[in-house]
Amino acid sequence: MELTLSRDSPTNTLILDAGGTPLYHICTPFKWTRRTTTIFRGGPSMRSPDSSVPPDPASSSLDGSTISPDSSEIARIHWNYVDSPRLVYDGRIVEFSKFMPAGGFMWMTRTFTAPDGKSYIWRMGWGSCHLELNDGSKPAKLIARFKEANLLKGSKSILEIDEAGLHILDLIVITWVFVEKYRRDGESK
């Protein structure tokens, strides 16, 4: 499954399927500190600029869209600059340092266990990251791959999900948001 990002941002974007239908809406309202990213399953309801009904500020995103009543919040990420960011997901609040411990060279991997009981590992590199099944098999089974937009080629950012990962699609999107922000923050230093 190939998913396209409406904007080259892991924290403020729509994730669209091949037909252009929004599957996820990821929004992070601007704040100087303690930002929170909210991930919704389903897309926004686009309002025309001349709409006589003002949008509810609590449900508005940066692009002027509003969260559709058909959308459902699946997760929140509370970014902390001193402590580990916290994930609110599936009725739990966990620190990412415990949910997805860092490892590998220069801490460029993050491992987690999904509800299916299997271990998965995100590997980060320059301009991309990918998710593998962490079962020791060689070569590792690729579950998801992110390719950043290429302005020279005119391509958009793409998140590819293998059929073997579709049963944990929500969790792939949630963990990708964290990993991709972490990767970009590291590249900008």
Rounded CA separation 184/88 (Å): 22
Question: Locate tokens 């994930």: which residue?
Answer: 87
Confirm if 10 and 176 have CB atoms less than 8 A apart: yes
Rounded CA separation 46/88 (Å): 27
- Which pLDDT value is given to residue 31? 79
- Which pLDDT value is given to residue 57? 35
- Which pLDDT value is given to residue 128? 82
- Which pLDDT value is given to residue 86? 93
How do residues 55-107 score in pLDDT, each as one tens digit? Answer: 333 344 444 445 555 668 999 999 987 788 999 999 999 999 999 999 877 77
Model confidence band, residue 108 (pLDDT cutoffs 50, 70, 90)? confident
- Which pLDDT value is given to residue 174? 97
Model pTM?
Answer: 0.82
> How does DSSP classify residue 139?
S
Sketch the domain layout of the chain as residue ranges: 2-187
H or E stretch covering 93:
strand 92-95
Peptide bond connecting 139 to the previous residue in cis, omega within 30 degrees of 0: yes
- Which pLDDT value is given to residue 143? 96
Confirm if 98 and 86 have CB atoms less than 8 A apart: no
- Which pLDDT value is given to residue 62? 43
Rounded CA separation 60/183 (Å): 27
How do residues 31-62 score in pLDDT, each as one tens digit? Answer: 777 799 999 998 665 433 333 333 333 344 44
Closest CA to 172 of 135, 133, 141, 144: 144
How do residues 122-173 score in pLDDT, each as one tens digit? Answer: 999 877 899 999 998 888 899 999 998 887 877 899 999 999 999 999 999 9
